[in-house]
Amino acid sequence: MRGRAHCALTAALRAQGLTAAQVLRDARQRAATWSDMHDIKALRDDPAAFDAALARRGLSPVAAELLEIDEKRRACITASEAALAERNAASKQVGKAKASGDEAEFERLRALVAEKKDEITQLEADAKGWDEKLQGRLMELPNLPLPETPDGADEADNVEAKKWGEPKKLDFEPKQHFEIAEAMGLMDMATAAKISGSRFMLLSGPMARLHRAIGGFMIDHQTETNGLTEIWAPALVRDNALYGTGQLPKFTDDLFKAGDHWLIPTAEVPLTNIVAGDIIDEATLPRRYCAWTSCFRSEAGSAGRDTAGILRQHQFEKVEMVSVASPDTSMDELERMTRCAESVLEALELPYRRMTLCVGDMGFGARMTHDLEVWLPGQDAYREISSCSVCGDFQARRMNARCRKEGEKKTRFVHTLNGSGLAVGRALIAVIENYQQADGSILIPQALRPRMGGAEKVSADGTLVA
């Protein structure tokens, strides 16, 4: 009789496909990991600070709303655990009631087990509903800026941190890059538009080679001089990779979809996701990666901006840098990464300035960002060529990427950083404009000449000249 009662109990407990121990364990795991986007404990401890940080980004208070959802979800989890405990207690008495011949008690207990099973099912569903609602709200919220990130509304409030090099004083009227390259017959945006539409380019002959030389120089410089590990990375990724780095769900319109995959907007996506779901030995940090890839962006939010030339394209190449760091060293890593990008501009002898972005101009996933702006004589202005950002644990929470010190059980989320080292097309623009000559030719920077067959310049008629 006891065996049959045990079988009945086991069947009831497995009605959801889980044992009682598994139900309880899974509930606790969900309670511990549901808040992937932001530290919910910190929000509970100091909701005013959370709202104040968002206010710096121009957002309205949300802490009260989030905490209300959080409380409802936790209440469902607590009630579910209590119901599970009641069901377990009743289940232990089923066999005894059957063995004693007390059929009435046996039936009451069996009905109670079934009732609690239904109650647990409903509470689990309610908890999941609140969980999904909270996850959705948290996914929409940007990273919280560091206290030292400057306040401000837009790029006008960014802070210049340093300058390197003097903008060249040309004794002729400087031209923009596309005017020079099109006159050479080496840049053709009209044909590219015939093939693919606007915001694409065709480079040919020495200009295509110069573009390739710049990209090759950059990736070699980052690996050989700056010690980053080169990665050949996929250009197609799945949804979870873009959720991990923060492009989804907020920036769906800026992405290109290809079947069940997405084209990468930057190699930050595959490089950062290398550690997704991992627990890393903290002694192996920082891990510094770089990749030279094509990037694809719809530029949905840039209508009417930078339409002349190749400054803003749907398809472009970039050498991307990503660091996975210990929380204790991520700010030092930001400085190092920024220097890695600056060293490319210095090697190419291109004047630039470093700008610390204000909160209003900073990207969704960043806590602090250094922009590098290169001087463009044709525009008589500094223009962005790299952004280096520290994300703290914002992406790591979304990816569940953690680290652990040797001999310790406790884990903590890693910190991630990303930066351009550099954008190849924008570097080509800078080389064309800074090295233009009065006769319409372009001098080739010394650092690039070995990759250009020893040529010293591209002549006005589009040929390489030794």
Would you name the residues annotated as active-site residues?
297, 312, 384, 387, 426
How far is residue 376's CA from residue 176's CA, in Å, rounded to a whole number?
8
How far is residue 182's CA from residue 310's CA, in Å, rounded to a whole number?
12
Strands 229-230 and 202-203 turn out to be: unpaired
DSSP string, 95-138: HHHHHTT-HHHHHHHHHHHHHHHHHHHHHHHHHHHHHHHHHHHH
Q: Give CA separation, 126 vs 26, 37, 77, 290, in Å.
A: 15, 21, 9, 44
Q: How far does CA 234 lie from the centroid of its chain?
A: 15
In this structure, how many other beta carbons lie within 10 angstroms of the beta carbon of residue 401? 24
- 125: which 2 tokens? 């569903």
Using DSSP's 3-state secondary structure scheme, residue 83 falls into helix
φ and ψ of 172, to 5 deg:
-145, 170
63 neighbors 51 (Cβ within 8 angstroms) = yes
Q: How far does CA 149 lie from the centroid of its chain?
A: 19
**Side-chain half-sphere CA neighbours of 76 within 13 A:** 21
Exposure class string for 331-367: b at 16+ Cβ within 10 A, else e: bebbebbbebbbebbebbebbbbbbbbbbbbbebbbb
- 345: which 2 tokens? 């501009």
- 63: which 2 tokens? 């802490």
Residue type, 432: I
Using DSSP's 3-state secondary structure scheme, residue 374 falls into strand
Closest CA to 37 of 133, 136, 144, 139: 139
Helix axes of 63-99 and 2-13: crossing angle, nearest 10 degrees: 160
Q: How far does CA 171 lie from the centroid of its chain?
A: 44
φ and ψ of 332, to 5 deg:
-65, -35
The alpha carbon dihedral of 377, 383, 386, 389 has a sign of positive
- 373: which 2 tokens? 């702006």
